[in-house]
């Protein structure tokens, strides 16, 4: 005994020319397994399409747009079918999009990126939130939020995830960071497999640790007000499951540079004025250091060395300049003294720090 809805659906089933059917942009699935399609096409040749697809009429034409069932449609084209069974439904764009996404996300072969983009599209319609999506798809809210973060992956890393060359857990760590860091991680550690500095095959925790060490900046070396940094989503203290405390590391280079530039601009006049006083009025170094300690919380030499070490770290990461020249470039001096200052402020030698970048 069939239900009223099933009977209504059956009455709407009709045969439509395959040539008059076209795919929809609403389908979140962009990849279709070729082997599976070949097998389905062969089955359709033998038995026909056993389950009709759902379509909606395209206004002012004799054509139809697929709401869901694109895989069966593709297989029917491959099987050279002239007509196929469809259920015709008059749906608005909004209803067609929601049904297409909802139906297709029930399939087992939907990729994480397809799933992420589908959730994002539903939220952008204004009709859904993370909470309603969790209820609609029977997932917990953390699952939905994690998938949504995959929309922030750069295309190259998203492609690795799509191709199963990157695990979900590793992708979840990488998508926490901005596109600039992601691009560097991809080019140096993920683009090629089997190279000496490749991160492919590493556990998520190891990848997270290496990104923090090599691509984030320790906030303790900066003197601007870090109140906002304490709750910032780009602070590794708020990004990682386990953190070592302290100020944390900043993963947003643009914001860090902007805040530091604003701080330096605000305090630059004091520094120059003190230097001018020493030169023009012969103020002692002790007096200048006292003023610097009062205004900036450190001595002149300590502050300048910290700034120089930060510049040195950027040059080392880029790898475009010999180590012997970096000390001079940053204003510290010859390599022997540069090495001494580097170890004092970083707690390791230059060579040891270089080895962590590989």
Per-residue pLDDT of the chain (358 residues; tens, 9 = 90+): 344 444 444 457 889 899 999 988 887 777 777 888 888 889 888 888 888 988 999 988 989 998 988 889 999 999 999 999 998 888 888 888 888 888 878 776 788 998 999 899 899 888 889 999 999 888 899 999 999 999 999 999 999 998 889 999 999 999 988 888 999 999 999 998 877 889 998 999 899 889 988 888 888 777 778 888 888 888 888 876 555 667 788 888 778 877 876 776 565 443 334 454 345 434 566 766 676 676 567 776 777 778 778 888 888 888 888 888 888 887 788 888 888 988 888 888 888 888 877 6
Q: Is 70 noted as a catalytic residue in this protein?
A: yes
| pLDDT of the residue at 91 | 87
Q: Which long-range contacts (CB under 8 A, 24 or more apart) does 319-327 make?
A: 319/357, 323/350, 323/354
Which of the following is catalytic: 70, 97, 115, 212? 70
CB of 153 within 8 A of CB of 174?
A: yes
Residues 354 and 358: their CA atoms lie apart, in Å, by 7
Return the sign of the alpha-carbon dihedral for residues 230, 235, 239, 244: negative
Count other C-beta atoms under 10 Å from residue 4's C-beta. Answer: 7
Cα(7)–Cα(12) distance, rounded to whole angstroms? Answer: 9
Contacts 24+ apart (CB under 8 A), 67-70: 67/24, 67/26, 67/91, 67/96, 67/99, 67/100, 67/103, 68/27, 68/99, 68/100, 68/103, 68/104, 70/23, 70/24, 70/27, 70/29, 70/32
Instruction: Give this prediction's pTM.
Output: 0.60
The two three-digit tokens of residue 15, written as one number: 């045969």
Q: Which residue's entry shows tokens 């630059």? A: 268
Strands 64-68 and 249-250: unpaired
């Amino acid at each position: 005994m069939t239900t009223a809805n099933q009977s209504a659906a059956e009455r709407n089933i009709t045969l439509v020319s395959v040539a008059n059917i076209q795919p929809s942009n609403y389908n979140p699935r962009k990849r279709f397994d070729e082997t599976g399609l070949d097998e389905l096409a062969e089955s359709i040749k033998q038995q026909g399409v056993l389950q009709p697809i759902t379509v909606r009429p395209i206004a002012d034409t004799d054509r139809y747009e697929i709401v869901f069932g694109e895989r069966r449609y593709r297989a029917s084209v491959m099987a050279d079918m002239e007509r196929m069974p469809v259920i015709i439904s008059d749906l608005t764009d909004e209803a067609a999009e929601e049904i297409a996404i909802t139906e297709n996300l029930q399939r087992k072969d939907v990729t994480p990126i397809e799933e992420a983009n589908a959730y994002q599209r539903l939220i952008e319609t204004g009709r859904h939130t993370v909470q309603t999506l969790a209820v609609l798809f029977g997932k917990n809210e953390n699952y939905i939020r994690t998938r949504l973060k995959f929309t922030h992956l750069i295309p190259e890393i998203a492609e690795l995830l799509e191709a199963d060359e990157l695990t979900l857990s590793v992708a979840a760590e990488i998508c926490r960071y901005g596109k600039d860091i992601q691009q560097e991680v991809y080019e140096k550690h993920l683009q090629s497999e089997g190279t000496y500095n490749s991160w492919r095959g590493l556990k998520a925790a190891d990848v997270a640790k290496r990104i923090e060490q090599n691509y984030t900046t320790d906030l303790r070396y900066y003197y601007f007000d870090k109140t906002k940094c304490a709750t910032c989503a780009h602070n590794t203290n708020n990004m990682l499951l386990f953190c070592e405390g302290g100020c944390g590391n900043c993963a947003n280079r643009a914001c860090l540079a902007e805040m530091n530039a604003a701080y330096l601009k605000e305090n630059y006049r004091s520094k120059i004025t003190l230097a001018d006083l020493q030169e023009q009025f012969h103020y002692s170094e002790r007096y200048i250091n006292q003023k610097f300690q009062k205004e900036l919380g450190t001595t002149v030499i300590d502050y300048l060395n910290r700034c120089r070490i930060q510049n040195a770290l950027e040059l080392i990461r880029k790898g475009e300049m010999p180590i012997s020249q970096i000390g001079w470039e940053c204003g510290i001096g010859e390599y022997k003294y540069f090495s001494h200052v580097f170890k004092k402020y970083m707690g390791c030698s230059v060579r040891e720090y270089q080895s962590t970048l590989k």
